[in-house]
Amino acid sequence: MTKKTIRIGRDVCMRLEQALGLEWLETNGLGGFASSTITGANTRRYHGLLVAATKPPVGRVVMLSKLEETLIVDGHRYDLSVNLYPGAVHPRGHEHLREFRLDPFPVAVYEAAGVTIEKRVFQVHGENTTVVEYEWTGGAAHECRLELRPLIAFRDYHATTHANGAINRNYDAREGSVRLTPYPDLPPMYLAHNAAGVEANGDWYHHFEYPRERDRGLDFQEDLFQPLVLRYDLIADRTAVCLASTEPQEAAYARVLRAREIERRAAVRAAAPSHEDIVVELTVAADQFLAERGDGHTVVAGYPWFSDWGRDTMIALPGLTLVTGRYEIARGILKAFAVNLDRGMLPNRFPDEGEAPEYNTVDATLWFFEAIRAFAQYSGDIDFVREHLYPKMVEILDWHLRDTRYGIHVDSDALLACGEPGVQLTWMDAKIGDWVVTPRTGKPVEIQALWYNALCVMRELSARFGELERAHFLGQLAARAKSSFGEKFWNSERGGLFDVVEPDRRDDSVRPNQIFAVSLHHALVEGERARSIVELVRRELFTPVGLRTLSPLDARYRGQYAGGVRERDSAYHQGATWPWLMGAFLTAYVRVHDGSEEARATAARWLGEFTHEMRKGCLGQIGEVAGGDAPHHEGGCVAQAWSVAELLRAAMEDVYHGKAACMAATVDAV
């Protein structure tokens, strides 16, 4: 397949405001990462060259924030860095930036005094290690030197550092390596290098500004410490290496690490289940969200600030691991979450510092059933399901039938009720202080779709495993639930479904949650009603970058996702657009049009629009959320697992090849 390189030209690189809006992301399979803008200027407190996961996939620490870079050609100094200070930009290295590309990792090309320098940044898979290489690739000079000044933060990635006297200014320097231990409660960082000289410095750089944090109403200024200067002679050695790691390394090994990482990423690309450009790019993007947890794997919900969440993991699992053939990783994820089952509920979040998991979601557990169904269909490993997952599924149903946390229980109509005052249990979970923005207490529409789907999945598994009495009971319960749903949720005035049904009211808000009643494997709504639902969603909620969370015709609609925490959270599910919902919409759209070639061609056109989205914001990725109004400015996490996963799943299952054709051979060795 043809390799597609994302390339940003000089015209964009020179326009600082535009260039600052383009970010890159490197991940290491541990939950750690490196990220910045294409100019090298950090615009977020989460940006850094080494953000190490000290307790994979969490415990993230920003160790190396950035490198200040100065190229010296025949006695003249040219700064390649860019920093944002109050009212000033200094230096202005973007004026020397001729090109930026992902090839396959971030590559920046600088030109000064006729000399061309190519800078490469990549993370090593399975290690908290970032390699930065500078190679002299063109031009002539009698003298060509490079000075690098590491700027370190050594703090939690949600925080900021400020000048203090507690920092240990000393370091341990050996041949080709420096060991830094700024604070006793954090791991050391090793800088392996091939510099001609190391010079002690010990200066604080003050008042870096992070405009993305300012826009979010958060702390946006930071001081960084410069412990030393690395001086390289590019005449003697045309490549300068700075390798930052939590473990001792050797600069000479950088070439081997680069070759290995190029080979690994080429294998990921080659294993894409289709040659379609969007599928290949989504497959490459999907690889960044798979991370280790203990002896198994998990899914990082989003970069730069999310950890692993139960709901996100179960929704993303088919797209990240099944359509890509990574069945062994899927087994590990499903088994790990099953082990953490409690009172019939899957954890919604594993906290950052390793405390007890949080059980505060009604839908993560139900998405678990769909993830298992998809795993069984793709892998055919029914023995694994029977041994490790089926007993847990039985336990879940038993708890839901007799009540579990937060009022989650099966009502007399066989539908699933949930919720308590002050608690948000569905994916629309924004909460500001004591204000639950979209409480959705009662019987939310997508919860009924997921509940019905879970009952049908369990009915089929119970029958297959010879538990015929259980299968019969579940079949009757599913039939009752479907009948009750049809009576209580159909909104004939709008031609769609009520969003929430409570004993004393029915919420007629037009939201995307109703699409799951059509898109899930065991659809709760079919025929003319299903077609009407899809048309309503298309007419009022569809955008080129996903589905709005509330119709613009609703007085509560918020079309812009921007501002401080309160402004953003109040718009999060009140109009903001979510790319992950496009997956379910594409599935439903193709399904209600009977999988026709015309419908699939239309879906392919919509899907192809995301190729352009992957060249905005975080290059090569799909973000979390965008504004409901055009031009749909991006917000939230710059790279979101379920956004990528659901687009990839729908692309393969519904748009291009169909479910049977997309069951690829396993590539777990990648």
Q: What are residue 443's DSSP bridge partners?
A: 501
- Domain C-terminal end among 240, 264, 288: 264
Model-wide pTM > 0.85: yes
Residues 235 and 349 in one domain: no
Q: How many domains does the chain have?
A: 2
Q: What is the pLDDT of residue 3?
A: 63
Q: Does residue 662 register a pLDDT over 60?
A: no
Residues 312 and 260 in one domain: no
State mean pLDDT over 294-308. Answer: 93
Q: What is the pLDDT of residue 430?
A: 87
Helix extents (H) in 8-87: 10-14, 16-20
Q: Does residue 432 register a pLDDT over 60?
A: yes
- Domain C-terminal end among 230, 248, 264: 264
In the sheet with 106-112, reading across from the earlier edge strand, the strands are 6-8, 97-102, 106-112, 115-123, 129-138, 239-245, 189-193, 177-180, 171-174
Residues 518 and 486 in one domain: yes
Q: What is the DSSP string of 536-602?
A: HHHHHTEETTEEESS-TTSTT------SSHHHHHHHTTTT-EETTHHHHHHHHHHHHTTT-HHHHHH
Residues 323 and 383 in one domain: yes
Residues 509 and 588 in one domain: yes
The residue with tokens 């004591």 is: 434
**Cβ-proximal residues to 319 (8 Å cutoff; 6+ apart), any chain:** 282, 286, 583, 642, 644, 645, 646, 647, 648, 649
Q: Does residue 491 register a pLDDT over 60?
A: yes
Q: Does residue 665 register a pLDDT over 50?
A: no
24 assigned to some structural domain: yes
What domain range includes position 533?
271-656
368 assigned to some structural domain: yes
- The 10s digit of each residue's pLDDT in 545-565 is 999 999 999 999 999 998 888
- The 10s digit of each residue's pLDDT in 36-84 is 999 999 999 999 999 999 999 999 999 999 999 999 999 999 999 999 9
218 assigned to some structural domain: yes
358 assigned to some structural domain: yes
Cis peptide before 421 (omega within 30 of 0): no
Q: What is the pLDDT of residue 352?
A: 56
Residues 238 and 285 in one domain: no
- The 10s digit of each residue's pLDDT in 515-540 is 999 999 999 999 999 999 999 999 99
Residues 347 and 215 in one domain: no
**CA 655/CA 651 separation, integer angstroms:** 5
Q: What is the DSSP string of 600-615?
A: HHHHHHHHHHHHHHTT
We report the CATH number of the domain holding residue 502 as 1.50.10.10
Taking the alpha carbons of 564, 566, 571, 577 in that order, is the dihedral positive or negative? Answer: positive
Residues 624 and 571 in one domain: yes
Residues 298 and 212 in one domain: no
Q: What is the pLDDT of residue 670?
A: 43
Q: Does residue 660 register a pLDDT over 50?
A: no
* Percent of the chain whose pLDDT exceeds 70: 97
- The 10s digit of each residue's pLDDT in 593-652 is 999 999 999 999 999 999 999 999 999 999 999 999 999 999 999 999 999 999 999 999
Q: How many CB atoms within 10 Å of residue 631?
A: 9
Residues 406 and 517 in one domain: yes
- Domain C-terminal end among 264, 281, 312: 264
664 assigned to some structural domain: no
What is the band of 103 on the pLDDT scale with cuts at 50, 70, 90? Answer: very high
551 assigned to some structural domain: yes
State mean pLDDT over 77-106. Answer: 97
670 assigned to some structural domain: no
Helix extents (H) in 9-132: 10-14, 16-20
Contact yes or no for 366/372 (Cβ under 8 A): no
Q: How confident is the prediction for the chain on average, in pLDDT?
A: 94
Amino acid at position 376, single letter: A
**Cβ-proximal residues to 473 (8 Å cutoff; 6+ apart), any chain:** none
Residues 245 and 393 in one domain: no
663 assigned to some structural domain: no
Residues 291 and 396 in one domain: yes
**CA 645/CA 387 separation, integer angstroms:** 27
Contact yes or no for 353/59 (Cβ under 8 A): yes
We report the CATH number of the domain holding residue 49 as 2.70.98
Q: How many CB atoms within 10 Å of residue 320?
A: 31
Reading phi first (left if > 0) and then psi (alpha if -120 to 50, else beta), residue 294 is in left
